[in-house]
Structure 1
Amino acid sequence: MAEVKVLGSWASPYSASVEIALKLKGVEYEFIQEDLSNKSPLLLKYNPVHKKVPVLLHNGNLLPESLVILEYIDEVFPGTPILPKDPYQRALARFWAKFFDDKFSPAARKVRYTKGEEQEKAKEEVRELLKVVDNELKKKKFLGGETIGLADIAGNFVALWVGVLAEVLGVELGMTEQKFPNLCRWMEDFLNCNVIKETFPPRDKLVAHYNKRFKSAAASASE
């Protein structure tokens, strides 16, 4: 059997995306928990460029960056497809995955790391991006169609982490059924999938984690 290991963090949506893909494929793997505040020599060795999780180790070969890893998993392992076979649909899946990586993640980070007027602009940017996703989901159960695909996995942080961070930061993004009915329906369907339930951390644990992390950062900044 192929040896598969994942260097990751339980609180990282990017690590979760790799675990979701492996579970969808039915691949057994070892999860190696990383302390991102004290990165291990193993992580620095295997991902010297970005020094981030996740990193996939497969039969002695290593691969960093979640989107790259997801496509690799789909190509190497049999089982449930993550990307559609049709070239056009594959291209669309990659487009939405890049949308979350290149557009949504930076906007969410701006909400997290800014204050005042700058944060208000960032919040509005996030809301506009949520509208885009909501519109795309009008006639789809998932971004991948009837089943979870690359785009859904890449956007997994919207289903859990965005709401958690908004709660911890005390910001209002207006992620309600009235404003984003299709997105909220997608979130419910996504979170109710068995593979997601098995992979995602409990919400209260994630809230406690980020509360502690932000308080620690605030205390350091005030010293």
Structure 2
Amino acid sequence: MLPDDLYSKLAEGAESTKAASAMESLSEKTPLKIGDTVYKLDVSKIPYLAAFVKFQRLSRPGDDLDLVHGDIALFDVALKGLESGYRQCFRCLRGNISQYHTLCETYDFLRVDVLRGQSIDTIFADLKACKTDYKFDYQRPRAVKGDKTQARDAAFRLLFLIIRGKFSDEKKDPAKVYNAVLFIVSHSATFKPATRFVV
């Protein structure tokens, strides 16, 4: 195996260089038209679009492609959630519950791992990250503020789990979800009205 930069100097390595450059460019911002809007995307975060771009580039090597994909429902909201945190979805959609179902379907279509393998217990622990904690410095308690952004992102993961997820224990998990929902509803200082209403 030679380093990738040497393949460009060798004539017989030209084809493998094209494939390697197609893979490297996936991590860069790729211009992609979805519906009527052109986005500059880091498609490596979106498995479906990464596969789409890779297929388009490998099927027509050497062409300067204008990558065009059909319309994807609520893609702009899904992208904002990926780039700035899932809490942004609550700010964009407000209280329309049917749109949250559509958004969760879009994340599934794009093959985005919203839950990242988290169980209801892990999500609940992230929700509790908003609480103020106390640490002792030199025998004196010091307040440490909670992480509200982590808790708000966890609220969307909980909603995604409720709408699209599968529970491992059909008897215990619904009770845990109920407690998590009560936690969100009762912490109005952390969770905005739209979040509490939808969850």
TM-score in same-fold range (> 0.5): no
The TM-score with structure 2 as length reference comes to: 0.29
TM-score of the two chains, using structure 1 as the length reference? 0.27
Task: Name which structure has the greater RCO, CA cutoff 8 Å, separation 6+.
Answer: 1
Q: Which has the larger radius of gyration?
A: 2
